Structure 1
């Protein structure tokens, strides 16, 4: 189904301040409305301004009905024995209102049968139309308003995430990197939707971010954000994109308070020779980083059989602790010296949510060492096995994210230069690296208050963009 939600001008105005931040709206459905999980599951939010606005909002001065926002049905909710609602998430505002009525409106260009279906969907507070009507509506929308194409493509990518084949090396690598990207948005409280609209890159060897479908933004908002200081800073890792020994892609998330996350996705080997994925998160105000190395559980039994490769990798990761200094103040105290974790996760063939984390066990290295000496991991043939049943004191994703958000784990006194050297080293060793570099002017107390504040209304506006690639040197330029 393709849904149409109709609001009065006053209802639209009451919500529009919140939607750019929350990206979410829950709407009750009329009793008896079909909620089959079929079709596009796109949502068009229409402002009905045929009646005069009581508040006299200038932006709704024109009469008629206008498509103002678009979104996707994230889930269907059961309110009671009969009543249902839909949660629309994410949402994006159209670059300009799309008129439905009048000689220049969308309805006038639709064939009569499809126009009747759309009018029926518009007749109440919420309705829907079928696939053939959606196809006719889409054709007219893109012909009359081609600027909507990237919005529709971005939303459909959320609704139809890529089906990964766990038997394919490239798909396995992209699965892990996508989970690492989503982990970075969780530990930094940036929108999950910013890094999840995706299609397979042209080459199997390219990083996950090479296939990122850009978040559509209004040109006027981009111009305003650049003037306000958002989007004007050169990425710290920009020079990596000019190196011949690695492939590097960068995406930046930045909010209106100046807090900034530079997401850097880099590899240096062909996918068939990769050793797995590392997620590295660096918090610049505290000069601290955390590393998560991905390990794949066998999907049927959810087990990982320890081998020499894992033992060697643990040895190398334990050297990371030598980069850390002793805490010199209360804000540098950590729960332990562990800055590296293993995430034992499992994936099955099929389509999963593009924004949810893959289930798995987060195990600190010191705990991994204990498990390797404990009889609980001893297999029937003398080998060692990690599994949910054998390692019952692991962290889940939400617990791990909370520790990182609050600065309870990670290195102490690690420089940016050490981070850069370490990130390149891991890529050259054969890992796909998803690195997040966060900067902000927050004090430790302000950071803790933000993390513990759950209300979406207090969140600042976020700008999401891929910086332009650096100019390659001109070989014909003088002195080259």
Structure 2
């Protein structure tokens, strides 16, 4: 389906700078607008501009922006709302009306449906048949829009994760990627356009589709293997490691380098690790994923999990004592378990947002495993269980992300070389790793000011991708 937001030329011009900064839009829509199962397909949004009709009464409209309907909400007794996120400018004049207009390429019945769905000053909706015909016409007449359409449609109509090892691993890596973007405050859409990679063993980010164009910044969506990320570039050239690197840079110069790497077949992989390294403060946070069955939402603690806790505690020893106020942390726990679950997808619809789960510092897990609350259900049992029925308190995703953003958890004085050695060990022992390093010239005060700022901020960014070339003779 497609929502059509039709604004007058004056209203569009008045909001142009706001749209370019925020790259999103919330607009009221009538409660009477019918959105029924017949309006199927991806929830695309067409932002249309319209100049006043001339003496002949002929409309003059053009397609100005494209986006995705992220959600709908109630804003009052008369209207509901639609939030468009992401919203991107077409960057080329696309007339809709007249003999040269794109609507002339559509059959008459679809043109009529479009017109009925596009009253000036409000929001309408048309069927997927209209959108598909319009998409074909746009790709034929304006091939330069193809990459933008691919990027938007990959987010509007994402693949459904299924119940198999490859999809489970990609789910965990996707969740880790979303967490890292939230921590570093880059738009989630930056790494959200995804299609399944051609090989089951490839990293999640091998399937990402970078945004093709950004406003006010140079487009760096270059798919080459290069020397990005310095020490990790060796894994891109003839290595047995599967490594993809995405580099994001915002308008202030902050840079986030996201490395997704694994070295083992998915069937023998031990799980997913997430690491966030804030280079200015030489501090990292480590999260190891443990997948919970969605029905019980709990797991038995086996010897492997206990040995993993030992290794997490050894990793925490990379930290040194705080010597300055900016190095102070809430505790000595830079390592966490995320007990996560994904509900069974009975409707075969894509799951959005972060996975449900609890973040547990390793020292807290040790206490839990000594407490009666985690003892097995049978009388006298020595088994231990971790899950929602056993753990009374835990950090939510929002709480965890806020602590990391403010620098209140993490190691102190950890070097990139130590980080590299840690990642290499984890990959060699069978884990898939999603690592992000944030670099900037921000002072401690500037970082805190940015994190606390709740006002509108420019969401533009540069995106470079460094994708591993297939190894000669490999079937991957």
Closer, same or farther: CA 472–313 of 1 in aligned 2, 3 Å: closer
Which residue number corresponds to residue 294 of structure 1? 289
Closer, same or farther: CA 355–127 of 1 in aligned 2, 3 Å: same
State which of 187, 192, 195 in structure 2 corresponds to 1:191.
187
Closer, same or farther: CA 224–388 of 1 in aligned 2, 3 Å: closer
Secondary structure (helix, strand or coil) at the match of 1:325 reads coil
Q: Is the 8 A contact 1:164 1:349 kept in 2?
A: no
Partners of 1:372 and 1:471 lie apart in 2 by 44
Q: Is the 8 A contact 1:2 1:43 kept in 2?
A: yes
**Which deviates the most, 240-249 or 306-315?**
240-249
Which residue number corresponds to residue 364 of structure 1? 361
Q: Is the 8 A contact 2:244 2:467 kept in 1?
A: no
Q: TM-score with structure 1 length normalisation?
A: 0.89
Q: Deviations over 1:253-293 (max 9, x none)?
A: 11011100000000011111100000000000000000000
* 1:100 aligned onto 2:99: no
Aligned residue runs from structure 1 range 199-218, under 5 A = 199-217=195-213
State which of 235, 251, 258 in structure 1 corresponds to 2:229.
235
Secondary structure (helix, strand or coil) at the match of 1:17 reads helix
Partners of 2:404 and 2:317 lie apart in 1 by 20
Which residue number corresponds to residue 465 of structure 2? 466
Which residue number corresponds to residue 400 of structure 1? 400
Which residue number corresponds to residue 35 of structure 1? 35
Q: How many residues align?
A: 455
Q: Deviations over 1:309-350 (max 9, x none)?
A: 100111111111221111111111111111100000111332
Q: Is the 8 A contact 2:22 2:459 kept in 1?
A: no
State which of 132, 136, 143 in structure 1 corresponds to 2:133.
136
Partners of 1:352 and 1:8 lie apart in 2 by 36
- Measure how far apart 1:23 and its partner are: 2.6
Q: Is the 8 A contact 1:260 1:440 kept in 2?
A: yes
* 1:257 aligned onto 2:257: no
- Measure how far apart 1:152 and its partner are: 2.2
Q: Is the 8 A contact 1:95 1:147 kept in 2?
A: no
- Measure how far apart 1:30 and its partner are: 3.3
Q: Is the 8 A contact 2:240 2:263 kept in 1?
A: yes
Closer, same or farther: CA 371–321 of 1 in aligned 2, 3 Å: same
Which residue number corresponds to residue 272 of structure 2? 277
Partners of 1:266 and 1:454 lie apart in 2 by 34
Gaps of 5+ in 2: none
Partners of 2:159 and 2:319 lie apart in 1 by 39
- Measure how far apart 1:98 and its partner are: 1.0
Partners of 2:228 and 2:162 lie apart in 1 by 36
Aligned residue runs from structure 1 range 109-148, under 5 A = 109-124=105-120, 125-148=122-145
**Which deviates the most, 284-293 or 384-393?**
384-393
Partners of 2:256 and 2:267 lie apart in 1 by 30
- Measure how far apart 1:460 and its partner are: 5.3
- Measure how far apart 1:244 and its partner are: 1.2
Gaps of 5+ in 1: 53-62, 227-231, 474-480
Partners of 1:174 and 1:262 lie apart in 2 by 19
Partners of 2:387 and 2:395 lie apart in 1 by 13
Which residue number corresponds to residue 478 of structure 1? none
Secondary structure (helix, strand or coil) at the match of 1:290 reads strand
Shift >4 Å, 4+ stretches: 351-355, 468-473
State which of 75, 80, 86 in structure 2 corresponds to 1:84.
80
Q: Is the 8 A contact 1:289 1:410 kept in 2?
A: yes
Secondary structure (helix, strand or coil) at the match of 2:295 reads coil
